[in-house]
Amino acid sequence: MRLGVLFLIVALATVSRAAEKPIDIEHSTLRVHVGKSGLFSAAGHEHWVTAPIAEGSIDDGQPAHIWFRVAASKLTVEPDKGLPATDQAQVQRGMQSKVLESEQFPEIKFNSTSIQPSGDGAWAVRGDLTLHGQTRPASSRVRKQADAYVGRCQIKQTDFGIHPIKVGGGVVKVQDELEIEFSIVPGQVSGH
């Protein structure tokens, strides 16, 4: 009897691990759109920020689950043709030191709490996002596109204790709401 129970536990653990795949960090993308607002917002610049995934996994079993981690210090403001190199460097430094405070808060993490089907090849994903040392709920509609799971979500910086940057007493400022777009590609399970 004990041998049968032990076999069942090992079999269930093997099935559970078989559904879990590491995220292919080379082919997955996570980008953040940083908008502008304020009276003279036309004078400011919008930015896209690349956030490379350091590690994570997807489990498409029952229940489905995804988690990933991003090193805050690796976020990079994408080059902007309309922005001189010195200004580009200043935006990068400001993002790291004043916004993310990446030395104090080195990790950004997402851990799903619920993944529910919402149509053919589509899901409603809810989870906990940890950013700037604070954890808040986040949700997204996700769809399967070729080999990737793609989607978008919005978060507010102030929900995570981040104060959007203002210039000129607030006549040009970064929008509180950020739009995040992602394409997550599952990798191969080693040994299979």
Ramachandran class of 9: left when φ > 0, alpha when ψ lies in -120 to 50, beta otherwise: alpha
> Rounded to whole angstroms, how far apart are CA atoms 45 and 68?
29
**Domain ranges, ordered by start, for the chain:** 21-184
**Percent of the chain surpassing pLDDT 70:** 80
Confidence category of residue 101, pLDDT binned at 50, 70, 90? very high
**Percent of residues in the chain assigned helix, strand, coil, to nearest 5:** 25, 45, 30
Mean pLDDT, the chain, integer: 85
We find that the CATH architecture of domain 21-184 is Beta Barrel (2.40)
Question: Considering the entire predicted model, what is its pTM?
Answer: 0.82
pLDDT in tens, 8-42: 444 444 444 457 999 999 999 999 999 876 443 44
* H or E stretch at 110: strand 107-117
Q: What is the mean pLDDT of residues 158-184?
A: 82
